[in-house]
Homo-oligomer: A and B are copies of this chain.
Amino acid sequence: MRLSKALIPTLKETPSEAQIASHRLMLRAGLIRQMASGIYAWLPAGLRVLTKIADIVREEQDRIGAQEVLMPTIQSADLWRESGRYEAYGKEMLRITDRHDRELLYGPTNEEMITAIVRDNIKSYRDLPQMPYHIQWKFRDEVRPRFGVLRGREFLMKDGYSFDLDFDGAFRTYKSIMLAYMRTFQRIGITAIPMRADTGAIGGDLSHEFHILAPTGESGVFFDAAFETGDALGATDPDAFYEQMTTTYAATDEKHDESAWAQIPPERKREGRGIEVGQIFYFGTKYSKAMNFAVTGADGQKFYPEMGSYGIGVSRLVGAIIEARHDEAGIIWPQAIAPWRAAILNLRQGDATTDTLCEQLYQALGADALYDDREERAGAKFAEADLMGLPWQLIVGPKGAAKGMVELKHRATGERFELPADEALAKVRA
């Protein structure tokens, strides 16, 4: 994309409403704009990140046999009366009355709806297990929305649900979801740690939260250094993986156990701060019973399927990743979800040799490049490229261009290389 034509309104000043780095940087880098309290529009650069994260989430869900569906944002209050949560949910639920005075709501989560769908369409144990998920906008009417997309009201979530024959099946599903989540975070390029959690409003017996490490995280976290190596992608056996994940020490300050912590060798102790980006729940027959979803078993007897639910905050991840990866100058995107792989900085717009080389680089990289073709000072282009945080910067000035040379800057490390254009391209594409 050519920056001169793009709707990427970067800001020099720090917007006064932004209290934390990710909110500030998302506004300054032109990723989002606030439309109402806790409600954001995603501009082209921000949407590209959101879409790339969603695509990775989707691939890892599909890989474990989950099936994508898409439930509507608006739900009937009657569904929530079946589970008993309509009254219980409180003021965070955005309640709506339509023109015929029917009670609706903007879904904050979908346990009730998916249970109704599976109940009405599945009759036999032979049709289980089922693992539907969707990636859809949710609304929670936070009393005080803040921190940009980290605590917004309208937010994008991947929420998945599982229906199993029995506890063993449900527990196996829970483990495979944990593995899928760890693969997802690793592919995105961040370190995430699963931690035992309370079940809260969803209910149930077993839950883990996934925290990514960021100095501005809301929770203090204590963990074994083993989590830093992140070899989740290699695991093939969910049982062994789960065993390893849950026997290696990790806890938020709320659940921190000083006596267990004392057992960890000092060189393996890590403390930091974490941002929650996902949570998984096993809750057995809580919803299948409440909503009367019974299935005929192999023995002809009816039984209630065992359920769980599994969420990743897709829009929240964008903010959380920036909290984990930024410096004074701006964002430092992991390559897998950067809006573009490289920025091309034309330092002398209008100079024929420089323009020609920049155009060649732009043609070569295509959709992977953001070309800063504006008539701006070099200093402004450097600052905006650092702010926007693409993994690579291809810096082209008239002197180098005359010799076919470019300066390649790696945003994360600050390393700079003087290279022939084709070698620079090869490094960017690697």
Tell whether A72 pairs with B121 under 8 Å between CB atoms, given A98-B94, A104-B36: no
**Docked-complex contact B137 and A7, CB < 8 angstroms:** no
Does the CB pair B73–A50 fall under 8 Å? no
Which residues of A (80-94) have their CB < 8 Å from a CB of B? Answer: 91-92, 94
Min CB distance, A40 to chain B, in Å?
6
A35 interface neighbour in B65, B71, B121, Cβ under 8 Å: B71
A402 at the interface (CB under 8 A from B): no
Q: Which residue of B lies closest to A96 (CB)?
A: B96
For A273-296 the 0/1 string (1 means CB < 8 A from B) is 000000000000000000000000
Interface secondary structure of A, over-half rule: mixed
A130 on interface, CB distance cutoff 8 Å: yes
| A96–B154 CA distance with the chains assembled, in angstroms | 14
**Nearest Cβ in chain B — how far from A394, in angstroms?**
22
Are B98 and A41 in contact, CB atoms less than 8 angstroms apart? no
A96 to B120 CA separation, bound complex (whole angstroms): 30
Who on chain B is nearest to A114 by CB? B41
Instruction: Please tell me if the beta carbons of B33 and A75 are within 8 angstroms of each other in the complex.
Output: no
Q: Which of B9, B47, B92, B99 contacts A141 (CB 8 A)?
A: B99
Question: A35-B113, A44-B67, A117-B33 given as contacts; is B139 within 8 A of A74 (CB)?
Answer: yes
Contact partner of A71 (CB less than 8 A), chosen from B41, B71, B143, is: B41
Q: A292 to B137, alpha carbons, bound, how many Å?
A: 31
Interface centre among A70, A73, A94, A141 (most CB of B within 10 A): A70
Known contacts A99-B91, A99-B141; A36/B76 CB under 8 A? yes
Chain B residues positioned under 8 Å from A6 (CB to CB): 67
Which residues of A118-163 have CB atoms within 8 Å of chain B's CB atoms?
A: 118, 120-122, 126, 130, 132, 137, 139, 141, 143, 153-154
Query: At the interface, yes or no: A68 with Cβ under 8 Å from chain B?
Result: yes
Are B75 and A47 in contact (CB-based, < 8 A)?
no
Q: A73-B137, A117-B33, A130-B7 are in contact. Are A94 and B96 (CB under 8 A)?
A: yes
A70 to B72, CA, bound (A): 17
Contact status B67-A42, CB under 8 Å: no
Q: Which residues of B contact A96 (CB under 8 A)?
A: 94, 96, 106
* Of listed A6, A40, A68, residue having the most chain B CB within 10 A: A68
The answer to the question of A268 belonging to the interface, with a C-beta cut-off of 8 Å to chain B, is no
